[in-house]
Chains A and B, each alone.
Chain A
Amino acid sequence: MQPGTPPDPASFTCPAPLRDRPQIVMGHGGGGALSRDLIEHIFLPAFGNPVLDRLGDSAVLDPTGRDLAPRLAEGGRLAFATDSYVVRPLVFPGGSIGELAVNGTVTDLAMSGAEPLWLSAAFILEEGLAIADLAGIVARMAAAATRAGVTIVTGDTKVVERSRGDGLTITTAGIGVVPPGIDLGPQRVRPGDAVIVSGTIADHGMAIMSVREGLEFEAAITSDTAPLHGLVAALLAACPGARMLRDPTRGGVAASLHEIAVAAKLGVEIDERAIPVSPVVASACEILGLDPLQVANEGKLLAVVPADAVEAVLDVMRAHEHGRQATLLGRIVAGHPGVVAMRTALGGSRVVPLPIGEQLPRIC
């Protein structure tokens, strides 16, 4: 895979034939020749790099690489994050579990201001998974890692019996470096601060739901999966005093705003008219009776910044490919600590509830 080449599962070719198995069998997890086949024909061709290629039980990381040592010497700190990825279907409009597994952990690191450096990747494969499908997803994952500038340095594979896995689940962990002087966290949030969202919300959740349920809308809804460390770096360069960042994944913007309100022990007030939702996603949510604020995102962030930095932050975010539709969503208030309130478009007000669990489509 050349860096920057878009993933194309159909064009994937193995350098040498797998042992005539079109599907994952239990033996691929047995540690023997079949396991070796997977590593040599699927994982190394896609992810290969000097650290991974040693195939040690652990990756040994050189702190002189990527200027880690000097940055740590100047007061930089390490960030470490992990996340597991389960999604059905494995490939969906706008991405696949492969992009999610890279972008999700990269973005988790970015939420503490870190530049992501290294990832681990652990795969749980279900017996019967088509090896071509696995290869396609691994190729997408490799392309996502290249795009995000991270190296996959260690990994693992297990196989579970048919019907005991969800096709494929991936766990990634990542290490990144937080530049000297950057310190994000709820303890820094103050009343009067602004809350910014980096673009349209609910795209990922509605993309998944529309393919899963076979719902067709006037335009295809595509997932917003994206690595956000570049956007974060631009934001922090323009506003080193940014207070905190959150990526509103499961539970949507509503859950993340609650996290901010609870962690900062302050209130959040948002303006309904400011919530950016694309027309097709808004229609889909209306049809299904879902609140876009509660639907998952995979390529958006919420930023709390000082009020006087709003324009500068919006300018740099809008100049970045992942922040074109960045919008001022609301502000932090001293009243109602822990509560998220919304000014409705009609001028009323209501509390934005914390989602309970799954989103349930309303009956009518």
Chain B
Amino acid sequence: MKHLAEYRDADTARRLAAEIGRIATRPWAIMEVCGGQTHSIIRHGIDQLLPPEVELIHGPGCPVCVTPLETIDKALAIARRPDTILCSFGDMLRVPGSREDLFAVKAAGGDVRVVYSPLDAVKLARAMPDREVVFLAIGFETTAPANALAVKLAAREGLRNFSALVSHVLVPPAIRAIMSSPDNRVNAFLAAGHVCSVMGTWQYPPLAHEFGVPIVVTGFEPLDLLEGIRRTVVQLEAGRHELENAYPRVVSERGNEAAQAVIAEVFAPVDRAWRGIGVIPASGWRLADAYAAFDAERRFDLGGITAVESPLCKSGEVLKGLLKPGQCPAFGKECTPRTPLGATMVSSEGACAAYYNAGRT
């Protein structure tokens, strides 16, 4: 923790915030892309330190939040099958599908297990050869290498009872979609540090150039975030729009090339529907054809499942930064963390849940 303490120093934080206040002369809307950043901003109260000119917009970077309803319904259908074990990261269990969540399926007798690593699901498949073991492979580029590795390992071992329900999403196409939206009001991005630790920063300079938008790769601790915001405001005030890496202790330009190689082997790009936002071209990964045998969507008959989201839920506008969570008519009324209508209210990284839990409106 001593390594964390140095990035949480209150005096340095206040100095950085004051400096941002001195630099900012006009209103700027900065989107933090990643849900982990949103969580940290709210948890530490970082936005409360900023001058009124700087507004933080909470982006679509919570993988739990943007996983399409249809994928959740498919996972629920798999979990209801006899002799099948559905393995998932913990916070997916409370995400509401069309009618229920994985907790409800588990209570009704479905075998749903929380794993900390996809490799645990492979281990389970190895240990229980007479059960189908399905891993719910979601997340951004951050979780993709381990998920890809799990599939690759299962293939190498010839495990016939392991499969993955894949719904990966990617950051750069989401930035493109947000900047291309006619009602966009984002002036700059804090890019997600962990995503860039895997993928590097090379994908971002073309986006910064094309849309004239500063992009600063930022970490998750309070001083990381404040330094990222400071550099973003410096660029905005100077009329610059460049890629900057404010997280060099973790992120390099080329990223983790071994991880990228595994991803490229196991996954292939696909148009992906983002919950609340809609389909974004080439914004996700599916299993590559060579690994089709491990695709849960092919192994189980899930074709008929389609889903309609609650008309009350405005999470799409929240994810695009057009609404603050509290401006949604259902916020705190029909929609709370106990009765979430949309996924942004489920994960503690989701903007709505982060606001609700911190008592914000």
- List residues of chain A with CB under 8 Å of any chain B CB: 213, 215, 279, 282-283, 286, 288-289, 339, 341, 344-351, 353, 356, 360-364
Q: Which residue of B lies closest to A288 (CB)?
A: B116
**How many of chain B's residues touch chain A, expressed as a range?**
35 or more
Say which one of B89-97, B264-272, B281-289, B323-331 lies at the interface with A: B89-97
A356 with B338, Cβ < 8 A, contacts A346-B222, A350-B45, A361-B89 known: yes
Q: Please report the C-alpha to C-alpha distance between residue A344 and residue B358 in the assembled complex, in whole angstroms.
A: 11
Question: In this assembly, does B124 line the interface, its C-beta being within 8 Å of a C-beta of chain A?
Answer: no
What is the minimal beta-carbon distance from B111 to any residue of chain A, in angstroms? Answer: 14
What is the minimal beta-carbon distance from B127 to any residue of chain A, in angstroms? Answer: 14
Pairs of residues from A and B, 8 with the lowest C-beta to C-beta distance, nearest first: A348-B45, A351-B359, A360-B90, A353-B357, A350-B358, A348-B48, A361-B90, A344-B45
Are A346 and B194 neighbours in the complex by a CB distance under 8 Å? no
Interface string of B128-145 (1 = CB under 8 A from A): 000000000011101100
What is the minimal beta-carbon distance from A245 to any residue of chain B, in angstroms? Answer: 26
Q: Please report the C-alpha to C-alpha distance between residue A350 and residue B90 in the assembled complex, in whole angstroms.
A: 24
Are A282 and B44 neighbours in the complex by a CB distance under 8 Å? no
What is the minimal beta-carbon distance from A126 to any residue of chain B, in angstroms? Answer: 19
Q: Please report the C-alpha to C-alpha distance between residue A279 and residue B1 in the assembled complex, in whole angstroms.
A: 6
Question: In this assembly, does B244 line the interface, its C-beta being within 8 Å of a C-beta of chain A?
Answer: no
Beyond the given A353-B358, A363-B91, A364-B194, could you list 15 further A-B residue pairs with CB under 8 A, ordered by the A residue number?
A279-B2, A286-B1, A344-B44, A344-B45, A345-B8, A347-B10, A348-B47, A349-B48, A350-B358, A351-B360, A356-B337, A360-B93, A361-B90, A362-B39, A364-B140
Q: Which residue of B lies closest to A350 (CB)?
A: B358
Are A351 and B358 neighbours in the complex by a CB distance under 8 Å? yes
Q: Which residues of A contact B64 (CB under 8 A)?
A: 363
Interface string of B339-356 (1 = CB under 8 A from A): 000000001110000001
Give the residue of B44, B63, B142 whose beta carbon is less than 8 angstroms from that of A348.
B44
Q: Which of A348, A349, A353, A363 has the most CB of B within 10 A?
A: A363
A350 with B42, Cβ < 8 A, contacts A341-B359, A362-B349 known: yes
Q: Which residues of A contact B45 (CB under 8 A)?
A: 344, 346-350
Are A348 and B49 neighbours in the complex by a CB distance under 8 Å? yes
Q: Which residues of B contact A363 (CB under 8 A)?
A: 63-64, 89-92, 138-139, 143, 347, 349
Give 23 pairs: A residue, B residue, CB < 8 Å, sorted on A.
Answer: A282-B4, A288-B116, A289-B348, A341-B359, A345-B10, A346-B8, A346-B46, A347-B13, A348-B44, A348-B45, A348-B46, A349-B45, A350-B358, A350-B360, A351-B358, A353-B337, A360-B93, A360-B94, A360-B114, A362-B39, A362-B348, A362-B349, A363-B139
Q: Please report the C-alpha to C-alpha distance between residue A289 and residue B4 in the assembled complex, in whole angstroms.
A: 14
What is the minimal beta-carbon distance from B45 to any residue of chain A, in angstroms? Answer: 2
Question: In this assembly, does B43 line the interface, its C-beta being within 8 Å of a C-beta of chain A?
Answer: yes
Q: Which residue of B lies closest to A336 (CB)?
A: B359
Are B90 and A215 neighbours in the complex by a CB distance under 8 Å? no
Are B8 and A364 neighbours in the complex by a CB distance under 8 Å? no
Q: Which residue of B lies closest to A354 (CB)?
A: B357
Q: Which residues of A contact B349 (CB under 8 A)?
A: 362-363
A347 with B348, Cβ < 8 A, contacts A282-B1, A361-B91 known: no
Q: Please report the C-alpha to C-alpha distance between residue A347 and residue B114 in the assembled complex, in whole angstroms.
A: 35
A347 with B1, Cβ < 8 A, contacts A360-B94, A364-B142 known: no
Give the residue of B43, B90, B357 whose beta carbon is less than 8 angstroms from that of A344.
B43
Q: Please report the C-alpha to C-alpha distance between residue A350 and residue B353 in the assembled complex, in whole angstroms.
A: 13
Q: Which residues of B contact A351 (CB under 8 A)?
A: 357-360
Q: How many A-B residue pairs have CB under 8 A?
A: 96
Q: Which residues of A contact B14 (CB under 8 A)?
A: 346-347
Question: In this assembly, does B200 line the interface, its C-beta being within 8 Å of a C-beta of chain A?
Answer: no
Q: For residues 137 through 189 of chain B, which have their beta carbon under 8 Å from a beta carbon of chain A?
A: 138-140, 142-143
What is the minimal beta-carbon distance from A279 to any residue of chain B, in angstroms? Answer: 5
Are A364 and B36 neighbours in the complex by a CB distance under 8 Å? yes
- List residues of chain B with CB under 8 Å of any chain A CB: 1-2, 4, 8, 10, 13-14, 36, 39, 42-49, 63-64, 89-94, 114, 116, 138-140, 142-143, 194, 222, 337-338, 347-349, 356-360
Q: Please report the C-alpha to C-alpha distance between residue A24 and residue B140 in the assembled complex, in whole angstroms.
A: 49
Q: Which residues of B contact A360 (CB under 8 A)?
A: 90-91, 93-94, 114
Give the residue of B1, B10, B338, B347 whose beta carbon is less than 8 angstroms from that of A346.
B10
Q: Please report the C-alpha to C-alpha distance between residue A344 and residue B116 in the assembled complex, in whole angstroms.
A: 29
Q: Which residue of B lies closest to A341 (CB)?
A: B359
Q: Which residues of A contact B338 (CB under 8 A)?
A: 356
Q: Please report the C-alpha to C-alpha distance between residue A213 and residue B90 in the assembled complex, in whole angstroms.
A: 12
Q: Which residues of B contact A349 (CB under 8 A)?
A: 45, 48
Give the residue of A213, A286, A341 whose beta carbon is less than 8 angstroms from that of B116.
A213
What is the minimal beta-carbon distance from B48 to any residue of chain A, in angstroms? Answer: 4
Q: Which residues of A contact B337 (CB under 8 A)?
A: 353, 356
Q: Which residue of A lies closest to B116 (CB)?
A: A213
Q: Please report the C-alpha to C-alpha distance between residue A3 and residue B13 in the assembled complex, in whole angstroms.
A: 54
Q: Which residues of B contact A347 (CB under 8 A)?
A: 10, 13-14, 45, 48-49
Q: Which of B114, B142, B357, B360 has the most CB of A within 10 A?
A: B357
Q: Please report the C-alpha to C-alpha distance between residue A284 and residue B138 in the assembled complex, in whole angstroms.
A: 23
What is the minimal beta-carbon distance from A295 to any residue of chain B, in angstroms? Answer: 14
Are A362 and B10 neighbours in the complex by a CB distance under 8 Å? no
Q: Which residues of B contact A289 (CB under 8 A)?
A: 348
Q: Please report the C-alpha to C-alpha distance between residue A213 and residue B356 in the assembled complex, in whole angstroms.
A: 30
Q: Which residues of A contact B143 (CB under 8 A)?
A: 363-364
Q: Please report the C-alpha to C-alpha distance between residue A353 and residue B354 in the assembled complex, in whole angstroms.
A: 10
Are B359 and A350 neighbours in the complex by a CB distance under 8 Å? yes
Q: Which residue of A lies closest to B93 (CB)?
A: A360
Are A215 and B116 neighbours in the complex by a CB distance under 8 Å? yes
Q: Which residues of A contact B39 (CB under 8 A)?
A: 362
